[in-house]
Chain A
Amino acid sequence: MNDPGTTVAPAGAPAEKHRRRGAAEEHGGLYGMLAEFETPAAIVAAATRVRDAGYRWWDCHTPFAVHGLDKAMGIQPTILPWLVMGAGLTGATLGFVLQWFTNAASFDIWALVWVRGYDFLVSGKPPLSGSVYPVVMFELTVLLSAVGCVVCLLLLNKLPMLYHPCLKNERFLRATDDRFFIVIEARDPKFYRNKTEAFLQSLGATAVEAMEA
């Protein structure tokens, strides 16, 4: 099992072993099985069955977000909106503190360097006049939310990832064009090369092939 040169895991091998990250090596350089479908309807139907079969390390790859496919795959709602809300609240707070400190305070704080606030006196108005703050608070709320949204999206999706086994498969190139794919990874506890291949065939895939790690 330790020699990457040996072939795929024999059917009936203990499932626990494949949970580890090095599972691809244990499968003789196999990343997973790729199944190709031609229509959105076909992949939604197939994904439902892959989910019901109990696979966990698998994914669909489609040229656009197929409506209802996430539900068919059983994808849980993402935490992203909460992260964006956190970023937005940070922005609002920052907007208030920034304006208050720079225009209505007169003490020193340490913000990488020591800086001192300045209480502007304009037309005898109170230094802390909240009615002028909302614009900049709003802008910083939107700014931090939007930046946070895109950054968190990339982090949650583990992108940029310029190397990935999928990307070197010739057939897979059409995932950004007009074909719909299901990939079941070799590290899945239920993955057995022959069984999984047969299973994918039974879903009505137009092609099934092994993917190198």
Chain B
Amino acid sequence: MKLKSSPYYKALTDPILGNNPINIQMLGICSALAVTVQLNTALVMGLSMTFVTAFSSLIVSSLRKSIPRNIRIIVELFVIATLVILTDQVLKAFLYDISKQLSVFVGLIITNCVVMGRAETYALGNPPLLSFCDGIGNGMGYSLVLVGVAFLRELFGSGSLFGIQVIPEALYAAGYANMGFMLLAPAAFILIGLFVWFQKAVLQGNGKRGLE
């Protein structure tokens, strides 16, 4: 069997470039605005999010035959909340500074529609391993957009990447200035808008399909 035609490969890669949770499904925008001022926070947020989505999908999917239908949403929420609190505790113990910067947003992964959406629409109807791949894929799709936005915001807003100054002093001396606007939330809105356009019009060529 070819790798590319395997369902696992599809579950893993489709949400990254095809059915991206932010650009196409339009989920998880709130945190994408809030934590993308610096690459550090965006990366940690993306990783935490990938961890939570992957394992919540795995757990919900393994339990899917025994979860009573009438309480399934609560059960999903329970699993997600437990994983998020675990992540938060681990971050506080090992990455204290970053966890302080992320403040409430790690806790807010619970309300991030990406996690709940994948558990409800995918994990409940697919086997565990496939759901796990889907979770990782969606988490990575989310992280990719976050890191992309953060890259542009940190580069143009503070002239640095991962906190390291990359724009040389000479350029500032020559009159270059950081774009203060990039540090504000509206800048993330505009960048995400451009990302959405890029994915829909350029990567998928959907711009023309609208005319059919």
- Binding partners A and B: no
Give me the interface of A with B, judged by CB distance under 8 Å: none
Measured CB to CB, the residues of B under 8 A from A are: none
